[in-house]
Amino acid sequence: MTENLEQRPARPMYSDRNLRRRNAVVLGAIAVVLGIMITLVSYSVTIYRLFCAATGYGGTTVRVAEDSSKQAARAITVRFDTSIVPGMPWRFVPAQKQVTIHLGEQALVYFDATNLADHAIVGHATYNVTPDVVGRYFKKIQCFCFTEERLGAHESVEMPVLFYVDPDMLNDRDANYIDTVTLAYTFFPSADPDAATDLTRFKVIPPAGAAASAERGHQLFVATCGGCHSFDHNAAGPSLAGIFGRPAAAAAGYDYSQALRAEHFSWSAARLDRWLADPQVAVPGAKMPIHVADERDRRDIIAYLRLVTEQSQAATGVTAIR
C-alpha cells in the first residue's frame, strides 16, 4: 500500500493535474448553466408578478414599469390590428389603437372579444408583426394566443397581452431604423375545440344594461381591495365590516386621515361610488391611494359590499349600523 502511494506521483501527477483542470472546466460550466437558470427563474417570477399586479387592477393599468437598466432610450410605436375570418360570429377589437414604449419596456395591452352567437365557440388566434424583421425582437410574455380559447354564447372578455420589444433590435442593421410596428391578430374557429381553455379566466365584461353582479364584485374586491381591506380587522386600510350605512371613518382603532375624520356622512351606494371613482376628489386630503376608473367595476364592487353588509347583519341579528 505504502509503496503504491509513493510510486504514484511520477505518472499520475500529470493526469491528476489534467483531471483537476477538467473538473474545473466542468464545474465552471455547471456554474454558468446554474447562473443562467437562476436568472431565468428569478426573472420569470418578477414578470409573472408584474403581470398579475397589472391585471389584478381591474384592467386599468396600461403599462408595467420595468427594470430601467435593461431599457433603451429609443422608443417604438406599436399599432394594433385585429381581424376575424369571415363567418366567425365574434367581435374582436383592440382596446387601444397603439402604444409607444421604450425598447425593453414591458407594455400591457388589451383586446376585447365578444361571441355574438347563441352557442359557445372555440377560437384560435394567430398573429404577425410587420415589418417582418422586427418579428424576432417582439417578445410576448403572456398572451391569449398561446391556446385554444372558448367563449360562451354572448360572452365578452378583455384579453391581456404583455410584451416588450428587445433592445437587441438596435444591433440589427435591417431593423434598427424602424420606429413603428404593427401587431395584427386574426381569430379562426378552432381545429381542436377539445383542448380549449375558457376565456373567462380573463376579465369578463358584463353586457350593457346587465344588473350589478355581487359575484363579479367579489372577484374585483379580492384583486383590487383585498390587499388593504378585510371585513374583520384593520390593515393598511380600515376594516370594512358593515360598511354599508356605516358613518365615515368609524372603524375603531384605525388611524384615519384628518380629512376623512372630519366628514359627517354615512356610506351609501352613491357615496361609495364617488369615493371609489376618486377618493381625493370625494374627500380632499383622504389617504386611500387607489381608484377604480371603470363604472361597471365600481357598481359591482358596491353590490358586493352591500351583500357582505347584509349577510353580516343577518348573521349577527344586528340591523343597526355598527
Give the number of residues written for the chain.
322
Return the number of the residue (131 or 285) whose C-beta is nearest ligand HEC: 285
Range 135-157 burial, b when 16+ CB lie within 10 A, else e = eebbeebbbbbeebbbbbeebbb
Cα–Cα distances (Å) from 303 to 28, 51, 155, 229, in that order, read 60, 27, 21, 16
**The three grid cell numbers given for residue 3, joined into one nine-digit string:** 509503496
Give the x/- contact pattern for ligand HEC in 3-32, rule: CB under 6 A. ------------------------------
**The three grid cell numbers given for residue 199, joined into one nine-digit string:** 376565456
Interface with ligand HEC, residue 64, by CB under 6 A? no
**The three grid cell numbers given for residue 187, joined into one nine-digit string:** 381569430
At its nearest, how many Å lie between ligand HEC and the CB of residue 232? Answer: 14
Return the number of the residue (151 or 303) whose C-beta is nearest ligand HEC: 303
Q: Phi first, then psi: what are they for 90, rounded to 5°? A: -120, 150
**The three grid cell numbers given for residue 302, joined into one nine-digit string:** 358596491
Beta bridge partners of 94: 111
| List 50, 76, 169, 250, residue binding ligand HEC (CB under 6 A) | 250
Interface with ligand HEC, residue 150, by CB under 6 A? no
Interface with ligand HEC, residue 282, by CB under 6 A? no
- 61, 106 Cβ separation under 8 angstroms: no
Return the number of the residue (90 or 256) whose C-beta is nearest ligand HEC: 256
**The three grid cell numbers given for residue 70, joined into one nine-digit string:** 435593461
Strand residues in 171-272 grouped as ranges (E): 180-189, 197-198, 203-204
CA angle in degrees (0–180, nearest 5) for 160-196-183: 35
- Where does this chain touch ligand HEC (CB under 6 A) — which range of 40-48, 68-76, 124-132, 287-295? 287-295
| List 76, 196, 251, 282, residue binding ligand HEC (CB under 6 A) | 251
What letter would DSSP give residue 205? P
Interface with ligand HEC, residue 248, by CB under 6 A? yes
At its nearest, how many Å lie between ligand HEC and the CB of residue 227? Answer: 5
State how far the Cα of 159 lies from the Cα of 202, in Å rounded to an integer: 6
State how far the Cα of 247 lies from the Cα of 256, in Å rounded to an integer: 13
| Residue number, nearest CB to ligand HEC | 225
At its nearest, how many Å lie between ligand HEC and the CB of residue 278? Answer: 12
Report the Cα–Cα distance between both ends of the chain, in Å, rounded.
Answer: 88
Interface with ligand HEC, residue 257, by CB under 6 A? yes
- Where does this chain touch ligand HEC (CB under 6 A) — which range of 27-35, 194-202, 204-212, 255-263? 255-263
At its nearest, how many Å lie between ligand HEC and the CB of residue 215? Answer: 16
At its nearest, how many Å lie between ligand HEC and the CB of residue 200? Answer: 21
Interface with ligand HEC, residue 224, by CB under 6 A? yes
Interface positions with ligand HEC (CB under 6 A): 224-225, 227-229, 236-238, 240, 243, 248-251, 256-257, 259-260, 267, 272, 275-276, 286-290, 292, 301
